[in-house]
Structure 1
Amino acid sequence: MNSHTDPIIKLTFDECWELLSADIVGRLAVVVDSHPEIFPVNYILQRRSIVFRSAGGTKLWGAESERPAALEIDGYDPRTEEAWSVVARGDTELIEDQAEKDAVDALQLEPWQPGPKDYYIRLTPRALTGRRFRVNKPDVWNTRTTDRRRASFE
């Protein structure tokens, strides 16, 4: 089939959770002073929510204010030549209960960035959406060497 006519396939709720559980890094989007900010975060899933750690700053401010946020992950499978994307939108909250923090630590959530990340933040999705689609086949002669699609013929 021609990728221009291939449909975009909406992922089920469970497929979105499966992709989230198979990944560990996403992009967190929050609104600060009426404009969007995006931060990479490493995360774990706990009880159908997304948990990450943070130092003080914008992410913490958003969680303390129980602000809405979104987390997005995406990927590409060179075997199937399909790309996918999952977006979780919901509210953030600061985890203050030590037993909850211990439960998160037991799931091995370790910050990647050096420095103290003493604050545990939970994003509880109110909406979880995803899609999968076939990508255009790369042109072996014209596709950049850094393009992930090249893996299908290398």
Structure 2
Amino acid sequence: MADESVPVIEELTVEQCWKLLEKDGVGRLATATLDPATGEVLPDIFPINFHVFEERILFRTAPGTKLIDLTAQPTVAFQTDGHRGHRHWSVVARGTARRMMFDSDIQESGILDLQSTLPTEKWNYVRIEVDTITGIRFRGA
């Protein structure tokens, strides 16, 4: 009999990871930013509302630090998590962020329907071309 006090971590398949991301949600975008004062490359993290289309993670953003970071260094990581009862999960995707430039791509993707938690105008559409996606599921307390 398994000891339920010991958390069992289950690695998720690529398909399971994408399935968990099917519903629009909130995640965290990790970028690299150049500190103008020191010249150091520093990590930064932004909460984003996201939408998935054709195994790409899409989000909207206003002009600012996030968009500047993505333009200078498009390699990013994305993380989101959730739970159902006592079963928790976390998914991490790594890839390249690119602005969506064509109206047809923007309209077809469904990103125009994405509701933002922060009610500001966000007319920059970005997609993460995912290179790797991994996830875990575990039983919480």
Q: TM-score, normalised by structure 2?
A: 0.85
- Larger deviation: 69-78 or 46-55? 69-78
**Could you say which residue in structure 1 is the equivalent of 2:93?**
88
Deviations 1:121-153 (A, max 9, x none): 1111111000011123xxxxxxxxxxxxxxxxx
Query: What is the total number of aligned residue pairs between the two structures?
Result: 134
Q: CA deviation at 1:65?
A: 3.4
Q: CA deviation at 1:105?
A: 4.2
**Could you say which residue in structure 2 is the equivalent of 1:30?**
31
8 Å contact from structure 2 (residues 78, 93) kept in 1: yes
8 Å contact from structure 2 (residues 87, 139) kept in 1: yes
**Of residues 94, 103, 120 in structure 1, which corresponds to 2:108?**
103
Q: Which runs of 5+ in 2 are unaligned?
A: 35-40
Q: Percent identity?
A: 35
**Could you say which residue in structure 2 is the equivalent of 1:139?**
none
8 Å contact from structure 2 (residues 51, 111) kept in 1: no
Alpha-carbon separation, structure 1, partners of 2:108 and 2:9: 37
**Could you say which residue in structure 2 is the equivalent of 1:7?**
8
8 Å contact from structure 1 (residues 9, 133) kept in 2: yes
Q: CA deviation at 1:63?
A: 3.0
Aligned partner of residue 44 in structure 1, secondary structure: strand
Alpha-carbon separation, structure 1, partners of 2:97 and 2:32: 12
**Of residues 71, 76, 92 in structure 2, which corresponds to 1:64?**
71
8 Å contact from structure 1 (residues 94, 119) kept in 2: yes
Alpha-carbon separation, structure 1, partners of 2:69 and 2:114: 20
Tell me whether 1:44 sits opposite 2:45 in the alignment.
Answer: no
**Could you say which residue in structure 2 is the equivalent of 1:117?**
122
Could you say which structure has the larger radius of gyration?
Answer: 1
